[in-house]
Amino acid sequence: MNRKQARTRLLELRDLLTARHRRIERHLQQREEPLPQDSEERASELAGHETMASLDDGARAELQQIERALARLDAGSYGRCERCRGRIADARLELIPYAALCAACAGA
């Protein structure tokens, strides 16, 4: 994958995750109303809130990884493993465009 393709892919992924993060935030803010009195309904509502918060945490973490990958692109180190400095396989970058480690180092 060349630098231009990588940047395009990372920016598209960043846009998707940013939109997801905004939707989750709106959903969580709407749920700030008082919880139902029914204990089963309350438990269900809390579980849903926790699930959405967990999804949001994941989206934010992935956004940070994308920003770091864009910085590596700018620095000229994109596609190089941060641990062993070897080349990250194109197939791995196709699957995980923000990968910072080669498959061997990621599995270690």
Q: Residues near 66 by Cβ (< 8 Å), separated by ≥ 6?
A: 10, 13, 14, 17, 97, 98
Domain assignment present for 22: yes
Residue 26, in any domain of the structure: yes
Token look-up 């934010």 returns 60
**Domain count within the chain:** 1
How far is the C-alpha of 18 from the C-alpha of 50, rounded, in Å?
Answer: 19
Residue range of the domain that includes 45 = 3-78
* 3-class SS of residue 87: strand
In tens, the pLDDT along 49-91 reads 677 777 788 889 999 999 999 999 999 999 999 999 999 999 9
- The whole-model pTM stands at 0.76
Within a domain: 58: yes
